[in-house]
Amino acid sequence: MEDQVAVLPDQEAKLRSLRAKVIDLEDRRRRDNVRLFGIPEHKEGSDIKPFLKNILPNLTGLEYSPPLELQRVHRIGPLHKPTSDKPRPIIACFLRHEQTRQTTSAAKSRGPYSLEGHEIRVAADFSRLTNEKRKAFLALRPQLRNLDVKYGLFELARMVGYVANPLAKVISS
């Protein structure tokens, strides 16, 4: 019995390590994906890929060179009720990681984009657990701004704050 109890902490540590690896692998697999929110249903017509290739340069203000190539594009989730005005998000998998990074960065700096009165937002695609971790930092942001602390999210879900000196303090991990 005592041997089994002694093994339990080791097994828990291995399980935590394996969970962290699975989450990391899922986030790495999603790194070329971008989510677009707010594009009205059926706006894209019969083929969503050419629609996004046309709209993304306007949305981001970028001229893609080489030309933008998308591997896969589709809406996420089941079709909402006809009375619902909330469109399903679109997920697009870019062929080139550099274009993914440029798109999310440009859309973030440019702010929301309006398409025929609908606000369109672009976000990187993360696993559910990573999104939950990132969301946990939302409450800290106003407090950090009030204290004039510069902050940022690094390594997907690690918030780092910079105080008056150049050394970074890890707020949470």
d(CA 108, CA 6): 49
* Residue 147 tokens, joined: 């204290």
According to DSSP H, which parts of the chain are helical?
2-29, 48-60, 97-110, 128-136, 140-146
What was the pLDDT predicted at 173?
Answer: 47
pLDDT of residue 156: 64
What confidence score (pLDDT) does residue 80 get?
Answer: 72
pLDDT of residue 3: 61
At residue 77, the pLDDT reads 84
DSSP state of 165: S
pLDDT for res 146: 85
pLDDT of the residue at 4:
63
Q: What is the pTM of this model?
A: 0.75
pLDDT of residue 167: 47
For residue 168, the model assigns a pLDDT of 46
Tokens of 133: 């971790």
Query: Is the torsion defined by CA of 17, 22, 27, 31 positive or negative?
Result: positive
Name the stretches of the chain with pLDDT < 70.
1-6, 82-83, 154-173
